[in-house]
Amino acid sequence: MAESSFGKVLYRGVEKCPICGANSLEVAELLYEIPSFGNVILYSYRCSNCGYRHVDLQYLEEKKWKTYKYDIKDERDVTETMVFRSKTCRIRSPDLGFSIDPGIAAEAFITTVEGLLYKVLDLAERMLVLSESEEEKSKIREFIENVRKALRGEKPFTLILEDPYGNSLIRPPRGREDRLETQGLISSETDKE
Ligand SMILES: [Zn+2]
């Protein structure tokens, strides 16, 4: 692709087309550093099956990759911790066992950890309906049970936000700010799962 010769490729892959549903949507995210103007990300979507095309631009402030890590320990952490999530952010919990990835269908949101867990629960319940094997169903049921416990503050877990543009944030309850870990980047090597 011509644009990759001067834009930096952040992501390139094939995803499901929102129009025809085929796994033939070519997605490219390219970063352009334009002097005296700033950074721009170009999102390009092109479906080789139905011909759908879409291009989007995002202007960036001078921000860097940020990772936030916070241990949810009780009900107060669940109801009072706020999560600010931009479209480029990955939210995951290695111990509870979920990951919400950035991508074409990613949505930006501001919610409490409680609200986030309800989203996770909703996704899991949809997966349960779609799942065809009994083994998979029982795994999903177990996961749902764990998320319900987490919602009641009965199952501590670690919440991690990773955003290459630093536009996302975890805000702990008042007085618990010092428990929040912030890093430039938690690499997968140092992340103990
Ligand atoms: Zn298509």
pLDDT per residue as tens digits for the range 52-110 = 998 887 776 656 778 999 999 999 999 999 998 888 889 999 999 999 988 766 777 78
Work out the pLDDT band at 5, boundaries 50, 70, 90: very low
* pLDDT reported for residue 43: 87
d(CA 57, CA 39): 10
Show the domain range for 134. 66-183
**What is the Å distance from ligand 1's center to 31 Cα?**
25
Hunting for tokens 């999560």 — which residue is that?
A: 83
The three-point CA angle 186-188-190 to 5° equals: 65
Tell me, yes or no, whether 49 and 71 share the same domain: no
Residue 193 domain flag: no
Burial degree of 150 (CB within 10 A; 0-12, 13-18, 19+): buried
**What is the Å distance from ligand 1's center to 19 Cα?**
5
Tell me, yes or no, whether 81 and 175 share the same domain: yes
The answer, yes or no, to whether residue 193 has pLDDT greater than 60, is: no
C-alpha pair distances (Å), 23 with each of 38, 56, 69: 34, 20, 33
Tell me, yes or no, whether 93 and 21 share the same domain: no
Tell me, yes or no, whether 15 and 91 share the same domain: no
Residue 128's CB: how many other CB atoms inside 10 A?
16
- Alpha-carbon radius of gyration of the chain: 19
* pLDDT reported for residue 37: 59
Tell me, yes or no, whether 13 and 86 share the same domain: no
Tell me, yes or no, whether 53 and 108 share the same domain: no
Work out the pLDDT band at 192, boundaries 50, 70, 90: very low
Burial degree of 145 (CB within 10 A; 0-12, 13-18, 19+): exposed
The answer, yes or no, to whether residue 2 has pLDDT greater than 50, is: no
**What is the Å distance from ligand 1's center to 47 Cα?**
5
pLDDT digits (tens, 9 = 90+) for 117-168: 999 999 999 999 999 999 999 999 999 999 999 999 999 999 999 988 777 8
Residue 168's CB: how many other CB atoms inside 10 A?
23
**What is the Å distance from ligand 1's center to 102 Cα?**
20
